Amino acid sequence: MEEKKTPLLYRIIYRLVWLFSPKYRIQGAEHLPEGPCVIVGNHCQMYGPIAAEIYTPGAHQVWCIGEMMHAGEVADYAYRDFWSNKPRALRPFFRLLSHLIVPLAVLIFNNAHTIPVYHDGRVMTTFRQSVARLQEGSRIVIFPECYTEHNNIVHDFQDKFVDVARLYYKRTGQALAFVPMYLAPRLKTIYYGEPIAFRPQAPLAEERQRICRELMDAVTDMATALPEHTVIPYPNIPKKQYPKNIPLEVYDDEKTTL
């Protein structure tokens, strides 16, 4: 794929984000296949997409919510997803802010290495673009967490992203690998785990469940094996509520005694 030319303003913003965001080390890069793969990790609020854009090795594309790429959809999505739970008195301010960020969001998300993710009739656009980029040798980075808590490390993974492997197999005859990733901003490190291979002959519903379960387990295992640190969760909650990476049973015991 020919590299698109990016506006000067985007290049300035990219440089500023790189300058002021955490500088990550990478561990486990040997687990990344030489060819295309899908990297799946914890969202960490804004930290995940930023880290994926800047630090993912090689050619890559990051799944991005499609509404943030269209001027007519940014404000409603941003307010609903980012700020609708703010105190009632502050909500008018955040409603205004959701409109003010529209030009900036459109600029950033349409010039970064992104693939728009849709949950409506446009969903096949997401999968077609993903398969095309994979065929060109790119890695795809996905943050599939939803708001249902799984444990103190990750929230449940939405499972439809696994379908990209079925479409890729139909197109190429090759089984795609999913690589678990744990992002630890407080440790300034990105960790990659061992790949999980898609099984083309297995029922798709079973593969969705299996791959999500194994990915969540792998991310959890990587996190709990590290020195104690604060986990930045998917939801935008008060920092005093951020969990630790200690094993869940220990974490629950500590919460009980507090």
Q: What is the pLDDT of residues 192-218, one digit of tens each?
A: 999 999 999 999 999 999 999 999 999
Give the SS3 label for residue 193. coil
pLDDT of residue 83: 85
| Residue 39: C-alpha distances to residues 29, 32, 59, 138, 169 (Å) | 11, 9, 12, 11, 17
| Residue 45: C-alpha distances to residues 49, 51, 128, 134, 212 (Å) | 8, 11, 26, 25, 20
Q: What is the pLDDT of residues 32-43, one digit of tens each?
A: 999 999 999 999
Mean pLDDT over 74-85 rounds to 88
Pairing of strands 145-149, 155-157: antiparallel
pLDDT band at 255 (very low <50, low <70, confident <90, very high): low
Q: What is the pLDDT of residues 159-190, one digit of tens each?
A: 999 999 999 999 999 999 999 999 999 999 99
Dist. CA 156–CA 21, nearest whole Å: 26
The HSE-up count of residue 115 (CA atoms within 13 Å, CB side) is: 27
Are the C-beta atoms of residues 147 and 45 closer than 8 Å to each other? no
Widest CA span of the chain, in angstroms? 57
pLDDT of residue 2: 52
